[in-house]
Chain A
Amino acid sequence: KQEVTQIPAALSVPEGENLVLNCSFTDSAIYNLQWFRQDPGKGLTSLLLIQSSQREQTSGRLNASLDKSSGRSTLYIAASQPGDSATYLCAVQGGGADGLTFGKGTHLIIQP
């Protein structure tokens, strides 16, 4: 059974810092890995999707890497802003149309 772990559970940093969120998964036979953002009282917003054959994806100040063989992914946020405050969730998909297996998330606070 696939298990996804996210470290740290919570993180508070001053505005402007670069930061890294970590995700690990137990079964390397994944189809893709996705990072989501969740704001309080709202649904999930997809940030980045990395196919199993890819090593990284970039979108603006966000960069996600994937090392499938070691079961790890990182989400790098550059020049953090207060608007980045949210819970960040990592999820893996075993097959193309399978449901997602999520970690518990990292609660991120960016201090102005």
Chain B
Amino acid sequence: EAGVAQSPRYKIIEKRQSVAFWCNPISGHATLYWYQQILGQGPKLLIQFQNNGVVDDSQLPKDRFSAERLKGVDSTLKIQPAKLEDSAVYLCASSSDRFDTDTQYFGPGTRLTVL
């Protein structure tokens, strides 16, 4: 089966600009996660969707970050305006709702550099 797809793989922008990342989860996976991984750190959960509803966005900086998952499939994460500290890798993951499958499958990530 195809894995989690993300695009773009790399993005360089200037501070105060806007940027958007796209994620396509594994087919049939109802739960989708966005994580932020700053260099030298472990990934940190930003937002979690169950189908097209938000389950947890407690760590999402809502003044500049937004995310949506229309139709419960693809998802877009947006930053507007970007700050220098937003430089990180943004990882998308998905998981099935089946009781016996808890593993989250991760995409390759989008590396964002804010200058």
Instruction: Please determine whether B41 and A104 come into contact, CB atoms closer than 8 angstroms.
Output: yes
- Measured CB to CB, the closest approach of chain A to B99, in angstroms, equals 8
Is residue B95 contacting chain A, with contact meaning CB distance below 8 A?
Answer: yes
Instruction: Give every chain A residue within 8 A of B33 (Cβ-Cβ).
Output: 99-100
Q: Do the beta carbons of A99 and B109 come within 8 Å of each other?
A: no
Interface size on A, residues (CB 8 A): 26
Residues B40 and A104 in contact, CB atoms below 8 Å apart: yes
Bound complex: CA A41 to CA B110 (Å): 9
A98 and B104 contacting across the interface, CB-CB below 8 Å: no
Q: Are A102 and B44 in contact (CB-based, < 8 A)?
A: yes
| B residues whose Cβ falls under 8 Å from a Cβ of A | 4, 31, 33, 35, 40-45, 48, 50, 55-56, 91, 93, 95, 97, 99, 102-109, 111
Q: Please name 6 further chain A to chain B contacts, defined as beta carbons within 8 Å, in addition to the given A44-B91, A99-B48, sorted by A numbering.
A: A4-B42, A31-B102, A34-B103, A43-B4, A43-B91, A104-B42
